[in-house]
Amino acid sequence: MADGCPECERNRSLGHRFCSACGRSLESGLWEGPLSAIMVIAAIAVAALAVVEAVSLAANAGPVFEYIEGAGYTLFILAPKAVGVIALEGIALQAYWILLIAVILACVAYSLVRFTRALAPADMGGPAEKAEDTAVFWVAAFVALNIFVTLTYNIAISAFGHSIDSSWIEETPERKLQFLLADAGVWEEIAARVVYIGAPMAVIALAARRGAFESLKCLLGGFGMSKASVALIIVSAAIFGLAHMEGWGFEKVPPAMVMGAALGYLFVRFGLYAAILAHFVNDYMSAIGWLTGSLALEAIVMLCLLAVGAAALAYILKKLVGAGLPSLPLLPRWKGPGSPK
């Protein structure tokens, strides 16, 4: 997929600073300037935040397990309104909770291993990829950007007497909220990204004679940017945004669409694990308060990410300009068994 991307050399010859297909930086050095340096530092902070949230998730696993013993929950698809498809209760729901924890912890661990290797000094073997080319870097950028955009948006709509209805959060018991937020990080990525991006790309790969196994791998994302995947990211983001209208009100739709586009990009470029990581880190920030009992510390973390949000916006705009997006291929430049010659 992104490894050995055949588009890198073509983009470099066109004078682009980033590969439009895999998103990798085509410039040398650990980072490319002040913006990049800020984002690498932010990524280190978000990596630490992910660890704190993962510890909180594991620490509360038992209490939540007991809480949901007599509860019921329905898994859904997005059409775009959430439509229930699988009802879980009792032991089945508890098994699902354990599965959620395992998936999230695996995504956090895998992402952190890739990121720490990218930060390794050259005399220790050298990184296989730069920090800017890891999922954690872009998770940090998009989570910070989401906080910045959401606050700016809230200020703008408040001038017209509107606000996002988040009253359900205050009304939800803590144990139930811990379950719901963890579930959102995993299941919503399956419902929005796997179904609306991965599945269509798997069909396209089959049509391109890539082979059944290689095509099925598209369900997990990571196949790289193309005109087809950009179109699917837009579709997925729109459905993801509209799905938030029922619980949050229409005011939630625009910022949810923006975040949906970011999650779609992570899915396409890195894979499902990156989208789950970003969704979990963004939604589970209350874990700081749950774990430490300090709401002030949670607020400080939010303010720091808010400050980084402006830098993230500038960096992402720089990337869009430098990537030469009009040069994207129609389909990913797949390589491997089953690919057309």
Predicted confidence (pLDDT) per residue in 124-148, tens digit: 555 557 888 999 999 999 999 999 9
pLDDT of 80 higher than 80: yes
Q: What pLDDT sits at residue 213?
A: 87
Q: What pLDDT sits at residue 176?
A: 96
Q: What pLDDT sits at residue 154?
A: 96
Mean pLDDT across the stretch 262-267? Answer: 97
**Residue 204: band (very low, low, confident or very high) from pLDDT cuts 50, 70, 90:** very high
pLDDT of 341 higher than 50: no
Residue 80, preceding peptide bond in cis (omega within 30° of 0): yes
pLDDT of 163 higher than 50: yes
Mean pLDDT across the stretch 326-331? Answer: 79
Say if residue 155 is exposed, middle or buried (CB neighbours under 10 Å; 0-12, 13-18, 19+).
exposed
Range of weakest confidence among 33-37, 193-197, 245-249, 331-335: 331-335
Q: What pLDDT sits at residue 270?
A: 96
Pairwise CA distance, residues 4 & 93, whole Å? 41
Residue 228 is encoded by which pair of tokens? 């087809």
Q: In whole angstroms, how far apart are CA 127 and each of 15, 102, 106, 224, 298?
A: 24, 27, 21, 21, 33
For 219-240, write each residue's pLDDT tens digit: 999 999 999 999 999 999 999 9
Q: Dmax over Cα atoms in the chain, in whole Å?
A: 61
Looking at the chain, how many residues does it have? 341
Q: What pLDDT sits at residue 29?
A: 45
State how far Cα 71 lies from the chain centre: 29
Q: What pLDDT sits at residue 330?
A: 86
Instruction: Decide which of 210 and 197 is more confident.
Output: 197
Mean pLDDT across the stretch 151-168? Answer: 94
What residue ranges do the domains of the chain occupy? 30-120+132-327
Mean pLDDT across the stretch 49-53? Answer: 96
For 286-316, write each residue's pLDDT tens digit: 888 888 887 888 889 999 999 999 999 999 8
- Strands (E) in 50-171, as ranges, are 72-78, 82-89
pLDDT of 189 higher than 90: yes
Residue 332, preceding peptide bond in cis (omega within 30° of 0): no
Q: What pLDDT sits at residue 319?
A: 80
pLDDT of 340 higher than 50: no
Pairwise CA distance, residues 316 & 137, whole Å? 12
Q: What pLDDT sits at residue 339?
A: 42
**Residue 338: band (very low, low, confident or very high) from pLDDT cuts 50, 70, 90:** very low
**Residue 205: band (very low, low, confident or very high) from pLDDT cuts 50, 70, 90:** very high
